[in-house]
């Protein structure tokens, strides 16, 4: 039988999360300054702003006042769906948590974190995901100009890099190349929401595309996804898929021409005609939007690692040729109609070899970074 969560336990857990967030923002005294308030999550920031507006200009806002006000806000929402008294009021159900989240995303994110902390067994990452999914314009929170979280200048040569976990820097360095090329803006922030300290790497393009990667405080990858006009669009099929979309996938990769003779190929380190793939995807479909391929459907059984390589390769192919073919093709049977994808290994590389029916054949040679994320090492054009 699923564990029933008592309302009082969830309230206690929520209070602990709120107090920790406020104390973390203002560790040196019992006053929350305007600067410290910018480090708060959406619920506690709202509480601090309301107190400051009520007290008037120049008034001090104390930490316990912020905690009390945040709890008042939260309990006001809770009462709409979990009124006190009686057997229903004694327990907080998942259905009620979902309703609270729908009514007020800031309260809902913290409520879900408290609920899961008491339940002690359900994936605590749900609170983080729900926060991103349910906040309209959430991408704006992660931009440099937003007061949400604390911006970290992790550009090469900046001293703040030394304090950032290497897996987070790995992601930031990929996206920062887009900023250096002057077609997007990359931001790294230390944030706190859903009751957790996180790192967020965000890329906002000059168009409407957005990319988001979230990491635990120790740099462990948590979730990555795509935004559209700052609204949540979808979670990635695997962590870091956005790094292969558009020109992002070319940064740091060596571009080369496929050679025609096997002895030349072997000498250049390229796969030869004798290369034996581990997997051949000869049929199936793709899921895509106007800028990327983000999933595939195939009758062929794929391991998680093979699926990751396949989707990365297909997304890399989007700007190279698929962008022009997909509007005139059936996406559900695109693979097989347009070519076949062969996956295997070659030396130290993971290989995805796209054999096109026309003249757009490519071989992608991947390596894995220290975090385990794929990185395109060599982009080989074969026609």
Question: In the prediction, which pLDDT does 166 show?
Answer: 93
Q: What is the pLDDT of residues 289-298, one digit of tens each?
A: 988 999 999 9
pLDDT band for position 196 (50/70/90)? confident
Question: Is pLDDT of 121 > 60?
Answer: no
Instruction: Determine how many CB atoms are found less than 10 A away from the CB of residue 303.
Output: 11
Q: How far apart are CA 195 and CA 202, in angstroms?
A: 20
Question: In the prediction, which pLDDT does 140 show?
Answer: 93
**At which residue do the structure tokens 């619920």 appear?**
43
Q: Would you say 295 and 287 are in contact if contact means Cβ atoms under 8 Å apart?
A: yes
The residue among 334, 370, 335 whose CA lies nearest residue 352 is 335
| Angle ∠(104,105,106) on CA atoms, nearest 5 | 95
Q: How far apart are CA 41 and CA 158, in angstroms?
A: 26
Give burial (CB, 10 Å; 0-12/13-18/19+) of 54: exposed
Question: In the prediction, which pLDDT does 23 show?
Answer: 79
Give burial (CB, 10 Å; 0-12/13-18/19+) of 377: middle
The residue among 135, 100, 103, 134 whose CA lies nearest residue 115 is 100
Question: In the prediction, which pLDDT does 86 show?
Answer: 67
β-pairing verdict for 285-288 and 293-297: antiparallel
Q: Would you say 133 and 232 are in contact if contact means Cβ atoms under 8 Å apart?
A: yes
> Which residues is 27 bridged to in the sheet?
none
Q: What is the pLDDT of residues 309-366, one digit of tens each?
A: 999 999 999 999 999 999 999 999 999 899 999 999 999 999 999 999 999 999 999 9
Helix (H, G, I), strand (E, B) or coil at 233: strand
The residue among 159, 170, 146, 181 whose CA lies nearest residue 45 is 146
Phi, psi of 286 (to 5 degrees): -130, 155
Question: Is pLDDT of 122 > 60?
Answer: no
Mean pLDDT score across all residues of the chain: 90
| C-alpha pair distances (Å), 218 with each of 175, 182, 320 | 20, 30, 36
The residue among 159, 261, 135, 143 whose CA lies nearest residue 191 is 143
Angle between helices 105-119 and 63-81 in degrees, nearest 10:
90
The residue among 165, 184, 290, 286 whose CA lies nearest residue 237 is 286
Predicted model pTM: 0.69
Q: How far apart are CA 304 and CA 143, in angstroms?
A: 32
Question: In the prediction, which pLDDT does 321 show?
Answer: 94
Average pLDDT for 95-102? 92
Q: What is the pLDDT of residues 219-263, one digit of tens each?
A: 988 889 999 989 999 999 889 999 998 889 888 899 999 999 999
Question: Is pLDDT of 1 > 60?
Answer: no
**Ranked by mean pLDDT, which of 53-62, 76-85, 191-200, 338-347 comes out on top?**
338-347
pLDDT band for position 367 (50/70/90)? very high
Domain positions in the chain:
5-122, 138-235, 248-381
Give burial (CB, 10 Å; 0-12/13-18/19+) of 333: middle
Q: What is the pLDDT of residues 7-39, one digit of tens each?
A: 877 887 888 788 878 877 887 777 888 888 888
Q: Would you say 281 and 290 are in contact if contact means Cβ atoms under 8 Å apart?
A: no
Residue 4 DSSP code: P
Beta-carbon contacts of residue 3 (< 8 Å; ≥ 6 apart): 119, 121
**Number of residues assigned to the chain:** 383
pLDDT band for position 303 (50/70/90)? confident
Q: Would you say 234 and 171 are in contact if contact means Cβ atoms under 8 Å apart?
A: no
How many alpha carbons fall within 13 Å on the CB side of residue 131? 27
Phi, psi of 140 (to 5 degrees): -65, -25
Instruction: Determine how many CB atoms are found less than 10 A away from the CB of residue 99.
Output: 16
Question: In the prediction, which pLDDT does 20 show?
Answer: 79
Residue 294: which H helix or E strand, with range? strand 293-297
Pick the residue with more confidence: 11 or 375? 375
């Amino acid at each position: 039988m699923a564990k029933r969560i008592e309302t009082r336990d969830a309230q206690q857990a929520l209070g602990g999360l709120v107090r920790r967030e406020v104390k973390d923002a203002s560790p040196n005294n019992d006053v929350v300054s305007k600067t410290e308030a910018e480090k708060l999550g959406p619920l506690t920031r709202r509480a601090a702003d309301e107190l400051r507006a009520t007290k008037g200009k120049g008034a001090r806002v104390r930490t316990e006042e912020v905690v009390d006000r945040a709890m008042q806000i939260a309990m006001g929402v809770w009462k709409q769906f979990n009124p006190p008294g009686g057997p229903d009021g004694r327990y907080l159900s998942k259905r009620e948590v979902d309703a609270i989240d729908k009514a007020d995303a800031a309260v809902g994110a913290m409520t879900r974190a408290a609920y899961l902390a008491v339940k002690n067994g359900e994936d605590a990452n749900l609170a983080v995901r729900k926060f991103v999914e349910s906040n309209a314009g959430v991408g704006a929170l992660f931009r440099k100009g937003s007061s949400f979280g604390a911006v970290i200048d992790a550009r090469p040569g900046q001293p703040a890099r030394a304090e950032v976990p290497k897996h987070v820097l790995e992601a930031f360095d990929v996206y920062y190349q887009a900023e250096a090329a002057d077609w997007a803006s990359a931001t790294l922030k230390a944030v706190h929401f859903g009751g957790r300290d996180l790192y967020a790497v965000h890329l906002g393009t000059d168009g409407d595309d957005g990319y988001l990667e979230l990491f635990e405080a120790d740099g462990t990858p948590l979730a990555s996804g795509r935004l559209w006009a700052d609204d949540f669009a979808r979670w990635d099929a695997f962590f870091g898929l956005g790094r292969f979309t558009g020109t992002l996938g070319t940064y740091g990769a060596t571009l080369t021409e496929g050679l025609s003779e096997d002895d030349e190929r072997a000498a250049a380190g390229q796969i030869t005609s004798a290369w034996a793939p581990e997997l051949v995807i000869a049929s199936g479909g793709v899921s895509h939007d106007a800028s990327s391929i983000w999933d595939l459907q195939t009758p062929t059984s794929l391991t998680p690692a093979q699926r990751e390589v396949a989707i990365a390769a297909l997304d890399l192919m989007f700007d190279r040729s698929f962008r022009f073919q997909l509007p005139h093709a059936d996406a559900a049977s695109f693979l097989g109609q347009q070519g076949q994808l062969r996956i295997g290994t070659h030396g130290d590389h993971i290989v995805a070899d796209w054999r096109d029916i026309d003249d757009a054949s490519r071989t992608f040679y991947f390596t894995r970074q220290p975090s385990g994320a794929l990185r395109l090492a060599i982009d080989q054009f074969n026609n």
